Amino acid sequence: MKLHSTSELSEAYIALGANLGDREKTLMDAIDRLHAHPQITVLRCSSLYETEPVGYADQPFFLNMALAIKTDLSPHVLLSVMQTIEQVLGRVRHILNGPRTLDLDLLWMEGREENTPDLILPHPRMEERAFVLVPLNDIVGQGETSGLHRVVKTAIERLDGKEGIRLWTTCNWQTASEHSES
């Protein structure tokens, strides 16, 4: 059973990407590990999209997706959990924006703002990246109250194009409604 202090639950959004190894399995393993944390509940996952690399181009295509979660962790503790999962699943940082088994980015957390050396919220390049916005658009509901829905819709409209992104598959991870906490 997941334990939360209900007065402090926040909805957060995470971008996931992988371009080394079994990309789809790694993304599903990351979701499992996030959901297994006692203070994180995965609510929704986007479809998976195959995307061309951005920045450092001499690398395989990525699979990208996004998650909506509920947590009572602070943004910095959540980031630490995410970085631990990256390491456990084989992430090494050799080349900036280079190939990786897993990349987890905290995008948004209940409209909170952070600006520290290790975390900026909302994510500073989220609105420029179709490989983030397209999956995020799958899971951000119109009823979302922190303004993220409006941010995503506006950013997608401003984007020059969404070329380089193609639907890979729908998310086959169990949904929160199917998850039993007993």
Q: Region 23-41: what's the mean pLDDT?
A: 95
Residue 105 lies in a domain: yes
Ordered DSSP codes for 91-135: ---SSTT---S-EEEEEEETT--EEETTEEES-TTGGG-HHHHHH
What pTM value is reported for the model? 0.86
pLDDT in tens, 71-80: 999 999 999 9
Residue 176 above 50 pLDDT?
no
Residue 103 is among the residues annotated as catalytic for this protein:
yes
Residue 41 lies in a domain: yes
- The whole domain housing 91 covers 6-169
Domain CATH number, residue 139:
3.30.70.560
Which of 23, 44, 103, 138 is catalytic? The answer is: 103
Residue 178 lies in a domain: no
Residue 182 lies in a domain: no
Domain tally, the chain: 1
- Average pLDDT, rounded, for the chain: 84
Residue 22 is among the residues annotated as catalytic for this protein:
no
